[in-house]
Amino acid sequence: MTQLRAWRNDLMGFLFPPETDKWLSVLRIGLGLQVAVYALFLRSDWHYLFAGTGKGLVSRELGDAIISFDSPFIPRLGWLVALGGHAGIGEETVLSIAWACLLCMGCFLLLGLFCRPAAIIAWFLHLCAAESGGLLAYGADNFMTMGLFYLMLSPLPDRHSVDHWLVKTKPKDPQLLGFWRRVLQVHLCFVYFFGGLAKCLGSGWWDGSNLWRSLIRPPFNLVSPDILVRFKYVLPVLGISICLLELGYVVFIWMKKTRFVWLVCILVMHVAIGLTMGMYLFALVMIVLNLAAFGVGSGVPFLRRPATRGRDSTQFLPEKQLSP
């Protein structure tokens, strides 16, 4: 019984570590920037991507029909268009309002104004857009939805938000803050581990051929093929390094001596993906999630905490509990 009680205490200590809301500020500001940039990137193509039959690149009705096979309860832009139709509002007007609301919610999150409603509305509108445009969606949309989902459930507002200054709220439960950060950390570990495992199972990442195909395929071919041919012997090394980096994430990101190095390597990898393939939104959301999950307290400039004594487990504790 004593051993079981000790295991239970260890588990509860892992799941509910006392934490400050600094990581939540990083997540809110980062996702606010992500949502705003996402909306601005799609400003000129919003109607072209999500218009109905005969008006868009791919009919929105087609995307909605495909999604309805999975579940009729998955949000989609068709819901908003149908609701607007009942109110006598045309499709183009509804889509314009949805885009404007998404941009406004991103700005609200950046400022920390109406944090909870802004996070919920941003999550819902982005999910609608991602599902209706499922034929054109990619990893950035999935991680944006994931990040906004965790944000809207987290104990907002944080102390760096406008909401906190306008309405004085009670201090948040440190263990509740720690729980939601821990969930995000574990989720990222699963993402990188299974992503790395899938890469290792094929030969394309070991010989560099997958990197070659990724970098020469339009519209991701920002790097000249001449440069790739010149440095073709580096591609297998990079492919193997990516596999090992993602597989080792689940172990080395938790260790004090290797956390900072592993985090920097992951951030550099995503920056490289954004710059060499033009996947700026994907790179940005992954950087934001990693900084929020493991950046605070890991020695990252502007996110580090004061140097402290003690065991490795003390690094995620609030500053008051970290003082000698």
pLDDT at 170: 79
- Residue 160: which of 306, 30, 315, 308 has the closest Cα? 30
* The model's pTM: 0.86
User: Can you read off the two tokens belonging to residue 113?
Assistant: 């104004």
CB atoms within 10 A of CB 113: 17
Residues 6+ apart with CB under 8 A from 55: 47
Is 277:214 a contact under the CB 8 Å cutoff?
yes
Buried b (16+ CB within 10 A) or exposed e, 13-51: eeebbbbbbbbbbbbbbbbbbbbbbbbeebeeebbebbb
Residues 6+ apart with CB under 8 A from 35: 102, 103, 105, 106, 109, 122, 126, 144, 148
* Eight-state DSSP code of residue 291: I
pLDDT at 265: 95
Q: How far apart are CA 227 and CA 64, in angstroms?
A: 42
Q: How far apart are CA 145 and CA 122, in angstroms?
A: 9
Question: What residues of the chain score a pLDDT lower than 50?
Answer: 300-302, 305-324
Is 211:203 a contact under the CB 8 Å cutoff?
no
Q: How far apart are CA 81 and CA 102, in angstroms?
A: 15
Residues 6+ apart with CB under 8 A from 169: 157, 163
- Residue 296: which of 20, 112, 16 has the closest Cα? 20
Q: Which helix (H) or strand (E) holds 18?
A: none
